[in-house]
């Protein structure tokens, strides 16, 4: 099932749960908000949290980001992992962050791939039995979309995770604290270390973000010439990011 982007808004209004979603135990956020830009060093751009591409627009204009990727098989020790995500306001907005993607971990039994969506400070994360039989394995191709809700909606944002390999999908609505507005300034496609600093980063090989689109302002466009950001750990750059002529963003470990 291929997502028709022209119908994203109308579909989500019908299909997602717009009521508040209560979680007994809040999982850790899969991405962290920047703190006054202090995580970012430029020329070349490096970041202590993730690697990938970011496309900036005028504040208040970016309302949607989408892209596809294949979930790689990680290499490393049991307990190590990484996060892959698509989102809005991940680099410069200090009040909120909207994102969705997968958390990939190496386990004693092989690999764990958990899809999630978040609108900081609110979080939704799947646990072992996701709804509608939607599961994700390494090697699956996913399409991830996040979208700002219209002002008339009963939610602040939506996210959609589509497993193209299995033809299954999941969407949900998110609400946020009124004091934590999204800046609507940039879209991002990234691979990240698991937040918190206690999970070792696994070798993620290469993650290719393709079929990229963003909506700003009001029309779907290719994120041409996005800014490249590399991941730094222990003062060492441990990623290599390139942008292809098609605007695909390729993130390689090492």
On the CB side of 22, CA atoms within 13 Å amount to 1
* Residue 150: band (very low, low, confident or very high) from pLDDT cuts 50, 70, 90: confident
For residue 2, the tally of other CB atoms under 10 A from its CB is 9
For the cut 80, the answer to whether the pLDDT of residue 1 exceeds it is no
Q: pLDDT (tens digit, 9 = 90+) per residue, 34-54? A: 443 434 444 447 778 899 999
165 token code pair: 């390999």
pLDDT of residue 25: 29
Of 9-23, 106-120, 184-198, 208-222, where does mean pLDDT reach its minimum? 9-23
Domain ranges of the chain: 5-18+28-239
What letter does residue 14 receive in the DSSP assignment? H
CB 189 within 8 A of CB 249: yes
pTM of the predicted structure, to 2 decimals: 0.82
Burial of 180: CB neighbours in 10 Å, binned 0-12, 13-18, 19+: middle
Q: Which residues of 113-146 are buried (b: 16+ CB within 10 A; e: fewer)?
A: bbbbbbbbebbbbbeeebeeeebbeeebebbbbb
Per the prediction, the chain carries an average pLDDT of 81
The CATH superfamily holding the domain 5-18+28-239 is Peptidase G1 (2.60.120.700)
CB 57 within 8 A of CB 186: yes
Nearest to residue 102, comparing CAs of 79, 121, 130?
Answer: 130
């Amino acid at each position: 099932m291929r997502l028709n982007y022209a119908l994203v808004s109308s579909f989500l209004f019908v299909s997602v749960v717009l009521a508040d979603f209560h979680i007994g135990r809040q999982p850790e956020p899969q991405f962290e908000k920047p703190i006054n830009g202090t995580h970012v060093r430029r020329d070349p751009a490096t970041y202590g949290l993730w690697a990938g591409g970011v496309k900036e627009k005028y504040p208040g204009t970016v309302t949607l980001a989408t892209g596809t990727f294949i979930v790689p098989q990680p290499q490393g020790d049991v307990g190590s992992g990484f996060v892959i995500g698509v989102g809005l306001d991940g680099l410069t907005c200090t009040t909120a962050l909207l994102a969705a993607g997968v958390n990939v971990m190496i386990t004693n039994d092989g690999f764990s791939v958990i899809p999630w969506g978040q609108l900081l400070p609110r979080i939704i994360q799947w646990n072992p039995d996701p709804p509608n039989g939607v599961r994700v394995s390494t090697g699956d191709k996913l399409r991830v979309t996040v979208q700002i809700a219209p002002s008339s909606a009963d939610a602040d944002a939506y996210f959609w995770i589509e497993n193209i390999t299995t033809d299954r999908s999941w969407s949900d609505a998110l609400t946020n604290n009124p004091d934590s507005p999204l800046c609507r300034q940039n879209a991002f496609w990234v691979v990240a270390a698991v937040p918190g600093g206690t999970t070792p980063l696994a070798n993620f090989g290469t993650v290719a973000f393709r079929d990229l689109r963003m909506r700003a302002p009001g029309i779907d466009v290719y994120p041409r010439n996005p800014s490249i950001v590399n991941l730094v750990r222990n003062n060492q750059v441990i990623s290599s990011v390139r942008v292809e002529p098609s605007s695909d963003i390729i993130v390689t470990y090492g």
